Amino acid sequence: MKGFSYMIVTDSCANLPDALFAEYGIRVIPLVYIVDGRERLSYSKDSETNLKQYYDLMRKKVPMSTSCVSRENCEAAFTEILDAGKDVLYIGFSSALSATYDVASKVLEELKPRYPERKLIAVDSLSACLGQGMLVVEAAKRRAAGDGVEAAAEWARGNRLKAAHFFTVDTLAYLYKGGRLKKSAYLLATALNIKPVMRVNDTGHLEAIGKALGRKLSLNALAKHIAEGIEISGNDALYIGHGDCIGDVEYLIGKIRERVSVKDPIVNYVDLVIGVHSGPGTVAAFCFADKR
């Protein structure tokens, strides 16, 4: 926590690799996933190496579920920072997809009377996965450049709807199980091998924006949307999350680069708290655009 007057805090749904959390000095509060009745933290030092084995368990139909962030973990993280004399900027998982932001922001509100000299700010990212992670990294870059906590928070609020999210899944079974798809649509799409093309919209909800016949065409659609966003924005940052399908990620990167020049992308597994609801084979791509 040395060197800055405030700490940037996020939750594990930001899905950034461990090295980026460390490089930018970002504090992470873990959510919880439950595997065969046993609770596990979604962010820990061995989280990245273990994710493949949990996706394999998913394929074997081992029961899994998730839970939002706990009040206890939020309070422990925030009070440690505040007791060290730092302000707090929390940028959290979309409130439209989880109770996590509501829990964390309420804990901050409750702590304000105990720390009247500190600034405690919460920003709903209206984002998920590495879309949330992009915002957190950019806020950390602004902190390093000298922005105060209020300026960094204002930037995050003003630019969160420029964090474009596009994704597809290999099977609709997990979206159906989570209540995000009607049974009739699930059965028809499965029978016809239809793959959805989806995004996170301006309210932070998941939204279908197209469909493709087969996997390759769905990945091509992601490439088209991402390339258009990058080209318009002029920002060549590219982030990609996946549900244990690195070959499809490499195909997607190639298709994006056929259209537009981009930096080497940040690639990471989709965290299990999200992956339980999207399934193995999920591919999600993120960039900054002029709008979602």
At 59, the amino acid letter reads R
Q: How far apart are alpha carbons 75 and 272 in whole angstroms?
A: 23
* Strand-strand pairing, 239-242 and 283-288: antiparallel
With contact defined as beta carbons under 8 Å apart, do 101 and 94 qualify? yes
With contact defined as beta carbons under 8 Å apart, do 278 and 175 qualify? yes
DSSP annotation of 118 reads S
Q: How far apart are alpha carbons 230 and 259 in whole angstroms?
A: 10
- pLDDT at residue 36, as a whole number: 85
> 140-150: per-residue pLDDT in tens?
999 999 999 99
Q: Which two tokens stand for residue 86?
A: 């730092």
- pLDDT at residue 43, as a whole number: 76
Q: How far apart are alpha carbons 238 and 240 in whole angstroms?
A: 7
- pLDDT at residue 232, as a whole number: 86
Q: How far apart are alpha carbons 246 and 85 in whole angstroms?
A: 42
- pLDDT at residue 234, as a whole number: 84
H or E segment at 126?
Answer: none
Question: Which regions of 30-86 does DSSP assign to beta strands (E)?
Answer: 32-35, 38-41, 64-67
Share of the chain above pLDDT 70, in %: 92
Confidence bin at 185 (pLDDT 50/70/90): low
With contact defined as beta carbons under 8 Å apart, do 202 and 237 qualify? no
DSSP annotation of 263 reads P
Dihedral sign computed on CA atoms, order 65, 106, 26, 142: positive
Domains and CATH numbers, the chain: 6-160 (3.40.50.10170), 162-288 (3.30.1180.10)
Average pLDDT taken over every residue of the chain: 92
With contact defined as beta carbons under 8 Å apart, do 73 and 4 qualify? no
Share of the chain above pLDDT 90, in %: 80
> 87-114: per-residue pLDDT in tens?
999 999 999 999 999 999 999 999 999 9
- pLDDT at residue 159, as a whole number: 96
- pLDDT at residue 177, as a whole number: 77
Query: Which residues sit opposite 88 in a β-bridge?
Result: 7, 120
> 226-263: per-residue pLDDT in tens?
999 998 888 889 999 999 999 999 999 999 999 999 98
> 62-94: per-residue pLDDT in tens?
999 999 999 999 999 999 999 999 999 999 999
Distant-in-sequence, close-in-space partners of 176: CB < 8 Å, separation ≥ 6: 183, 186
Query: Which residues sit opposite 89 in a β-bridge?
Result: 8, 121
Q: How far apart are alpha carbons 166 and 223 in whole angstroms?
A: 9
At 33, the amino acid letter reads Y
Q: How far apart are alpha carbons 6 and 118 in whole angstroms?
A: 9
Long-range CB contacts for residues 42-49, cutoff 8 Å, separation at least 24: 42/12, 42/13, 42/271, 42/272, 42/273, 43/12, 43/271, 45/18, 47/12, 47/18, 47/271, 48/17, 48/18, 48/268, 48/269
Please state whether the predicted TM-score (pTM) of the whole model is above 0.75: yes
Confidence bin at 201 (pLDDT 50/70/90): very high
User: Can you tell me the mean pLDDT for 7-26?
Assistant: 95
DSSP annotation of 177 reads H
